Amino acid sequence: MTASYYEELAERLRAAGVPDDEAARTVDDLAAYAAESGADPRDEFGTPEEFAAQLAPARAGGGSPGPDELPGEADETWVWTADAFQDRLMLGRFGDEGWEVERIDAAGRFVSRRDVRNPQRWEYRRETVLPGRRRALADRLAPDGWEPCGTWMCFEYFKRPKAASLGPEAELDAPPETPAKRYFWSGRFYVFIVAYGAFLAVVGALWIASAPDASRSGFLTGFVVGTLGAAGGLTAAMALRAWRARR
């Protein structure tokens, strides 16, 4: 059932004009994420038809090229992510390469596209906002040309074409190739993971040391140690995954 989901998704992406290697990488990334989270792909991403339309909106459905579109030509799509310590830096870099973020998916990744016929530079900003204040923030930024392009936890992301400030200079004559990497982790991210794991260990040790004698049963101690071990294992797994993705 799960394998057939990804096979259909890959087939629909290819039919929508996504290159074979890019479709394969996208499906592999999605399958790995769903396997780690234990989620059913249909519950997490929707039907293959709907999700393919989101990932490759310019050619969803595999229709024939329109009158303004040359045969074999389609908007490029790319899905990537970065940690919160450097996401604004990477957004600025890739915005200058013509990548427009359309949304942030359930995995916290930037679903991006680039117009192959008329690529232009984009700029981004990130705001920290409470859920009830998002609409007011969007209304405040709209007069300056900013429009929402995604939400992740307490962060709201906005975009606007650089043509608003640069004019014709915002157009790209020869945009660079699509980056081979999809995950961008900073050194501060690794420090955070290690520090968080150490914090859990210290809190657990202090809790055991200060607990009443009656609470220090073998069962309770084993439970706490097991919990700390699981937390440490999860932290190590996250660090290993981030290290592999960075290579």
For residue 110, give both structure tokens: 């930037």
End residue of a domain, out of 71, 92, 113: 71
Q: 3-state DSSP call for residue 141?
A: helix
**143, 129 in Cβ contact below 8 A?**
no
Domain count for the chain: 3
Q: Are 170 and 102 in a shared domain?
A: yes
β-pair partners for 111: 79, 103
Q: Are residues 201 and 125 in the same domain?
A: no
Residue type, 73: E
Q: What is the mean pLDDT of each run of 10 residues along the chain (247 residues)?
A: 83 86 83 73 81 64 42 71 93 95 91 90 94 90 94 94 82 88 84 81 75 57 57 54 49
- Residues 89, 177 within the same domain: yes
- Domain ends where: 56, 71, 86? 71
Q: Residue 50: give the domain boundaries.
A: 1-71
Whether pTM > 0.75 for this model: the answer is no
pLDDT in the model for residue 227: 57
From edge to edge, which strands make up the β-sheet containing 100-104?
100-104, 110-114, 76-82, 183-184
Task: From 104, 234, 22, select the one nearest 242 (Cα to Cα).
Answer: 234
- State how beta strands 76-82 and 147-152 pair: unpaired
User: Are residues 205 and 107 part of one domain?
Assistant: no
Contacts of 139 (CB under 8 A, 6+ apart): none
Helix 48-55 × helix 2-15 angle, to 10°? 40
- pLDDT (0 to 100) of residue 70: 39
Among residues 71, 91, 114, the one where a domain terminates is: 71
Same domain, yes or no: 46 and 12? yes
